[in-house]
């Protein structure tokens, strides 16, 4: 009988296990919304960075062509947005749609002779100048947004109306 009283039990009691589970559930409930916002931010950033890269490549392509051609960028805005980049009237060298990023990201275009939700500009080989003028594309996902702006000289840069995603605030 004395041996039974002196043996120690190993492991957790049911109460200790339940307390640990409740604490874990509270931590998950607190962290879940922040994690969802992180995922949204990364999805939006992927769209913005890819589009920015495509526009920079289009400018480089136009300069590479020399006097023999142009590069045309056509952008359709809205929930079902898409864009194509065509070098010297050939088949699209780049074609992307909202589906490439899982949907949910909307796009709005300003400038670039926008008509009926479609905007286009041609990058010429002379200093990448553009007759369509300046323009921008604003991508939005939930409360997050980022804008790609293109100046007359063909330079593209990113800003955010709210300073989201680590981009500078738009002026």
CA atoms within 13 A on the CB side of 136: 14
Q: Note down the domain range covering 20.
A: 13-166
Q: Would 1 be classed as within a structural domain?
A: no
User: Using one digit for the tens of pLDDT, what is the confidence trace for 36-45?
Assistant: 888 888 999 9
Give the pTM. 0.74
Tally of domains within the chain: 1
Q: Which residues pair with 82 in a beta bridge?
A: 76, 97
Q: Would 7 be classed as within a structural domain?
A: no
Confidence of residue 49 (pLDDT cuts 50, 70, 90): very high
Q: Would 8 be classed as within a structural domain?
A: no
Least confident of 6-10, 61-65, 114-118, 136-140: 6-10
Q: Would 121 be classed as within a structural domain?
A: yes
User: Using one digit for the tens of pLDDT, what is the confidence trace for 104-159?
Assistant: 888 888 887 777 778 877 776 665 556 666 788 899 998 899 999 888 777 889 99
Q: Would 107 be classed as within a structural domain?
A: yes
Q: What is the pLDDT of residue 7?
A: 63
Angle CA 122–123–125, to nearest 5: 135
In percent, the amount of the chain with pLDDT more than 90 equals 15
Q: Would 111 be classed as within a structural domain?
A: yes
Report the CATH number at residue 138: 3.55.40.10
Q: Would 171 be classed as within a structural domain?
A: no
pLDDT value at 35 more than 90: no
Residues contacting residue 104 through CB under 8 Å, at least 6 positions apart: 43, 98, 141, 142
């Amino acid at each position: 009988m004395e041996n039974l009283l002196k043996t120690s039990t190993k492991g957790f009691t049911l109460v200790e296990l339940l307390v640990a589970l409740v604490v874990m559930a509270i931590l998950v409930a607190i962290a879940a919304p922040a994690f969802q916002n992180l995922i949204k931010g990364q999805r939006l950033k992927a769209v913005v960075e890819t589009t920015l890269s495509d526009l920079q490549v289009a400018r480089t392509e136009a300069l590479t062509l020399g006097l023999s051609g142009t590069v045309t960028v056509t952008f359709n805005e809205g929930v079902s947005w898409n864009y194509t980049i065509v070098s010297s009237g050939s088949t699209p060298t780049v074609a992307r749609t909202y589906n490439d990023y899982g949907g949910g990201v909307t796009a709005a275009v300003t400038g670039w002779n926008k008509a009926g939700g479609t905007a286009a500009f041609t990058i010429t080989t002379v200093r990448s100048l553009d007759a369509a003028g300046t323009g921008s594309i604003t991508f939005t996902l939930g409360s997050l947004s980022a804008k790609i702006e293109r100046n007359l000289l063909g330079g593209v840069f990113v800003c955010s109306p709210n300073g989201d995603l680590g981009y500078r605030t738009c002026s």
